[in-house]
Amino acid sequence: MPTSACRYPVVVKPVRCAGSFSVVRCETPSDLITASNRYFSALPQYLASFGLTADASTTSQWGMIVEELVVGAEVDIDCVVVEGRLVFAVVSDNHPQPQSQECTTFIERGGRCPSVLPHEDQVCTGGDA
């Protein structure tokens, strides 16, 4: 997708990874290119920390997702699915660093489980939710 096709600001994040590694807010196409270049530069060291080699076959599986920035409460939803059936889910609150021109990452400063969001905001009743 061309960078000009995005509606900014956007969030760019790895398809695979954890702990908000390389999740970045981008205000412009130039920011998006810079974030992508930084990610792929840091990827070999990240993979090595898990005992993986950053060869072409491995890194081809580690692309990036570009999403519209949605402002609001940040939560994690952790689920256990067994044989295609949801058997457990919990919503927890994230406490990210405040966003600013100087801080565009999404590294959490902490979290809370269970979430303090009202129960009705945490429940998915199925369908197109």
Query: What are the pLDDT digits (tens) for 59-101?
Result: 666 788 898 888 877 788 888 999 999 998 888 888 776 665 5
pLDDT, tens digit, for every residue of 93-125? 887 766 655 556 666 677 888 888 888 887 765
Is the model's pTM score more than 0.85? no
Sheet holding 24-26, edge to edge: 24-26, 10-14, 64-68
Domains, the chain, in order of start with CATH, read: 1-71 (3.30.1490), 72-124 (no CATH)
Q: How far is CA 10 from CA 24, 27, 52, 78, 128, in A?
A: 8, 7, 29, 24, 24
Q: Which two tokens stand for residue 101?
A: 């021109």
